[in-house]
Structure 1
């Protein structure tokens, strides 16, 4: 990486492996892709009415299951993101190099599921479909043009040299 790529960032922008912290747009994209799982977790934690939140957000049960299905690639990205550390397995490193493509594919897959739900099963409204297309298009454009995300993909945490501890000998 070129040193000038890091000139816009301060010390707080780096993690404890001296890598640039992951772009917030990645996390926002993952929340969007995994919204079915987020709703499911919210409903599980609601002790009074476990199904009420799901039925309120997804009036048609099929939509909820489709959202879980379309979030499967997002789960894979979360796994790769959580395993991104020094001495990671080779499949994690290879997957990290392709995370931009996988994230773009996950967003497009989510949109395709919604298109099928709209045109084939008539489960979505046109307003929600257009809104989702705008959100997906915007996230794809932002992720593919983000310099910080490009730096994130180019970096992979490496083991840091151990700091020598001073040993004080008492007489």
Structure 2
């Protein structure tokens, strides 16, 4: 099993633990437009899953490629979510369903070519920023919603930024 497959399996298992009441199914291809889908409460949900190799508090945001976002938005799903699992047992989820081009400003950033895979190759990507403070935050292993994480996270990020100066 290669590094990419390990990340995929890990992310899928974590998605099932975060949203235990949703009967997730998973796509088979490495380059499918989304990673998971479900029919839940008469809604079709699709999810893009990322497993990060750092804690939630390390950065104030996540990024999604504009190309990936546009592919997600082309689907006729009732709900489109972007899921990031972090090493400190926290999962952040953003609902992208009603996002339009007017809602964000794309930026070009040098980033790793792939999230997983072992080979670190940087390329320039067109991305949008998803702020952690806008995310639904849950404990990964239990799915418990943790509203208070946002306030402590903001304090931690502020301290982090001050110490980097």
TM-score band w.r.t. shorter chain: under 0.3
| Greater strand share, structure number | 2
Question: For the pair shown, which has the larger CA radius of gyration, 1 or 2?
Answer: 1
Q: Normalized per residue, which structure has more helix?
A: 1
- TM-score (norm: length of structure 2): 0.24
Task: Output the TM-score relative to the length of structure 1.
Answer: 0.24
